[in-house]
Chains A and B, each alone.
Chain A
Amino acid sequence: MGNPFKSKAFVVLVPYIWLFVFFLAPFLIVLKISLSMTAIAMPPYVPAFDLSAGIGGILSDLKELSLENYAFLFSDSLYIKSYLSSLQIALVSTALLLLIGYPVAYGMARAPKAWRPTLVMLVILPFWTSFLIRVYAWIGILSREGLLNTFLTWAGLIDTPLTILSTNIAVYIGIVYSYLPFMVLPLYAALEKMDESLLEAASDLGCPPLKTFWVVTFPLSLPGVIAGCFLVFIPAVGEFVIPDLLGGSETLMIGKTLWAEFFSNRDWPLASSVAVILLLILVIPIVFFQNAQQRSQERNG
């Protein structure tokens, strides 16, 4: 390894090639298969390109590429409803997470300095325990004979058990619960860095506390707000486990629809086109997220 240029190229190339082969190239295959026809075989599609047939074969294949799957997606209201309802559930959950996460992060950032590392650790700890298990825990709490209904009946607050499991409310609870650390941590990082003398200056100049919050604190925490919102919104749109386990038959989310097309209907080309459209919807927020990440990294560097 005497030549530094060689080792430098090595360090860049190995992860580059890995990500290219196993992250980027698969998307091209998804795109290709979304344009091919469904077949009852294994694998269950007719390939859109057959490289063994040479250039002539590819040219004739190009003519046979079909947009049929996409046409189907837009003709069947199930898919459009799934996309819209996923976006709606993700948006509402993001707003709820911001409302719940902000006071928690704010309280943490104003806690005595000695406690802060422990508090951060306590927010991260649930993230390390299995996502599936944390979603599962809510089934026992929210079901009709579950702990919440047992408790509320015992406390005399309700007579008949509430139906929460298998509704969208349970999906919101599940998403807010599972994604809370992702919202709290960036908010905390932004709030903790804030110079408290700015607040003192505002209050010395006679600014009431609530106004100080809106004029000073909130604008300064905006990078954390943006990072937190992207971190929860993008994965929430494609969420599968939470709507599948906590939601009901009327809960339409695109992750669930894609899973059903793939595993139950075994329609790989249609599942692929569902994925392509989902990716197109998410590409703008993902690019925003990347730029924000890169900027924050360059600022620190």
Chain B
Amino acid sequence: MSSLSLNDSLSNVAVIGAAGKMGRGIALLLLQECISCDLENKRVQPSKLFLIDCSSDGLGTLRQYLDAQMLRYAERNIGLLRKWYEQRSDLIDNSEIINAFINDARARIHTTSDFSQLSNCHMVFEAVFEKLELKSNIYSELKTVCPQDCYFFTNTSSIPISIINHDNELNGRIIGFHFYNPPAVQKLVELISMPENSSEFIELSYELIKRLGKIIIPSNDIAGFIGNGHFIREGLYYLRQAESMKSTLEEALCQINEITEKIMIRPMGIFQLIDYVGLDVFKMICTTMEAYIEEDFNNEVLDTLLTRGVRGGQFGNGSQKDGFFKYEKGRPIAVYSITTSSYVDFSAIQPSECPPKSWKELSRDRAADSYLSQYFDVLKKSTDTKAQLAVSYLKNSRKIARDLLENNVANDIEHVNSVLKNGFYHLYGPENNFMGSWE
């Protein structure tokens, strides 16, 4: 096994699937780390960052993205850059130093579709589409090309890494990183290790994630891990709730979305979140979890929508595609009706109620906890139908969290809380003091 320090390991790194949504964010984080490591340590040999993707167009766009993002990084860290380049008497102005930095960053990037260039790679980050077969194909090739002591990091939100490890005989040289989207911005990384991983490898992974400026939450190697372990189960729960309600499905979807956003004070309602993630991605994770966990991850409404081509997810420019809801300027304005295969205007269904304090307001409020404490009390005592539903939803969320602990997905309930707070931007964890006495 490799005994290289993290700094040395960073001298030759690769990202597979670099042009993808997750890959490019990971590429950016690594580029920042590679170049700052070189400059900080005054390394003569520039580090190499191989960015691999099957799409050559995608690699072109990736370079533009990295240029633009590195410029932002340089501008934000100009003080550091001036220090790094203090010996360069030819670089005086901020603009000159920033240009030099961008050029130096570009010089570290090697875009290719050719795996054979990875023969000296110390760390390979793989962020291809979440399909076991695809991942396995890549690892079987990587194994033959990369050095014996190369570490592999797979970005996955659901596939157990022990399967990839076993199928490709990687002998514990693979570990799971679950970056949240977009990786360059989101602070949370779930680190999925397994007993076959060496302690050096795990330590190196911790050190690296920390250097990338992320919050690390360890998760055990059970499909879905903590983040999707909670999200997928919650999503399915609400879909089933919607189906069992007396009202029309459209009304139920709207009502549950409203309760989960406004009454539970979350950044967005559950069905809007599924739209954001993509119904297809949601379904894919369900399928993966179904394969490894004895539990029902099927849902008819979801399948029906997908067969009708309703997918959600984002356009290339980051705007929201239609899913459960139709969007205008990022806000849902209509809901999909299975009966008519079209979107029904929200206003035709129900007027939206005014929330007490919105998530946005409260997320900036330093006294949010004391507000929430009182708010939960009021909620618990309320006879309002929506409030009562919210209470049962909160209890369900807590049950899912407790089951994750029970089933050894999480080692600590605080890890579940942290994932929901840092990965999903909830203001409170599913296990919280506010509902301490609720049974």
Answer yes or no: are A and B bound together in one complex. no
A contact set with B: CB distance below 8 Å:
none
B contact set with A: CB distance below 8 Å:
none
